[in-house]
Every structure is written in C-alpha cells, then in structure tokens.
C-alpha cells in the first residue's frame, strides 16, 4: 500500500467526514477552509489511497429490534488447525456477528454480536456456535449500558507527520 503524507488539511477533512460522511463537497470545503475543487481532489486522493475505506449508514440496533448486545469469547481446540478456516468461514455467514477479532491471551476469538433477545442468543450459541466443530469453550458478557460509541478513529498521532 503506497504511503500517503497527510497534512493538517487532510486531517481536518478526515475529522469532518468521521463526524458526518454525508457532507457535500461544498459543505466539506467550507468546513476545512478550501475551495471545492482542491477539496474534491484531496478527498479523491484519500479514497484512492485507502485512507478512506468506505462510506456507510450506521443503524441504531434498538430501533431495528436488536436490544441485546454481547461479547462472546471463543476458544478453539488446540489439536491442529483443521477447524480454523472452517470457523472463520462460519463467522462470515453468521449475521449476528458484526465484528470478530483473533486474539492473544486466554481466548482465540472475540465476537461482537447483536440479538433480538435472550432466546435468540441462546439459539445462536446452542445451535450454531457450540455445534461448530473445533469450538472448545464459549464465554459471554452482556452489555448493560453503552457508555461511549464512536466509529471515529483518533487522528492526534498524525499531527507530526
């Protein structure tokens, strides 16, 4: 991946877009004190370089009937890697899993999952997760209250670049 040097204006563009990805180019240009043409050029460069990966609509889980959020820690059998790819493939097909991370430490994978209710969670664990070959242990924690949620990545480390 080619390295792109980001200046203060690029960082302002990124910060504004992380707050509102639906800004028009004119609105974005005004917020970062550029004229629209140079702003659009910079934006295209950020997109083409991969700094901006994609644009999405973020849904409120509660408004679409997903009132139960959990973090599920999964440990796989340690005998060989024969179930590893099968598990990774299965995770891709489970719509309840919105994030999956390979981890160090006591677990192999950490899943962020959403469900309608405890019954939905129970069906997922019993009928999908624990039925998957190679799954040795599953531990879950439920979100009681969301304290902070953001998709905005910190940009402060980029100031010196």
29 CB-side CA count, 13 A: 12
* Domain identity same for 116 and 65: yes
Q: Within a domain: residue 20?
A: yes
How many Å apart are CA 126 and CA 148, to the nearest integer? 30
Query: Sheet containing 68-76: which strands, arranged edge to edge?
Result: 97-102, 109-115, 68-76, 135-142
The number of distinct structural domains making up the chain is 2
How far apart are the C-alpha atoms of 91 and 63, rounded to whole Å? 24
- In this predicted model, which residue has the larger pLDDT, 156 or 132? 132
pLDDT tens per residue across span 41-79: 999 999 999 999 999 999 999 999 999 999 999 999 987
Using the structure block, give the residue that is written with the tokens 């901006």: 52
> Any idea what the CATH number is for the domain that residue 25 is in?
1.10.10.10
* Residue 78 and residue 41 share a domain: no
pLDDT at residue 9 in the model: 96
- Angle made by CA atoms 33, 35, 40, in degrees to the nearest 5: 105
Report pLDDT digits (tens) over 78-129: 876 778 899 999 999 999 999 999 999 999 999 999 999 999 999 999 999 9
Q: Report H helices in the chain.
A: 8-19, 25-31, 36-48, 84-93, 118-123
- Residue for token digits 């924690």? 141
Measured between alpha carbons, how far is 143 from 155 in angstroms, rounded to an integer? 27
**What domain range includes position 16?**
8-49
Alpha-carbon distance of 104 to 123, in angstroms, equals 28
Q: Are 13 and 32 in contact (CB under 8 A)?
A: yes
């Amino acid at each position: 991946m080619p390295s792109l040097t980001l200046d203060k204006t690029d960082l302002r563009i990124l910060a504004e877009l992380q707050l509102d990805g639906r800004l028009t180019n004119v609105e974005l240009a005004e917020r970062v004190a550029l004229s629209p043409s140079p702003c659009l050029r910079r934006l295209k460069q950020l997109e083409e370089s991969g700094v901006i990966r994609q644009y999405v609509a973020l849904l409120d889980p509660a408004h679409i009937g997903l009132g139960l959020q959990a973090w599920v820690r999964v440990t796989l059998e340690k005998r060989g890697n024969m179930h590893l790819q099968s598990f990774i493939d299965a995770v891709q097909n489970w719509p309840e899993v919105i994030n999956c991370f390979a981890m160090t430490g006591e677990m192999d994978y950490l899943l962020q999952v959403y469900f309608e209710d405890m019954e939905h969670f129970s069906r997922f664990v019993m009928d999908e997760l624990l039925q998957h070959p190679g799954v040795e242990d599953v531990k879950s924690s439920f979100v009681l209250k969301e304290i902070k949620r953001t998709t905005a990545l910190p940009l402060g480390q980029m100031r010196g670049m």
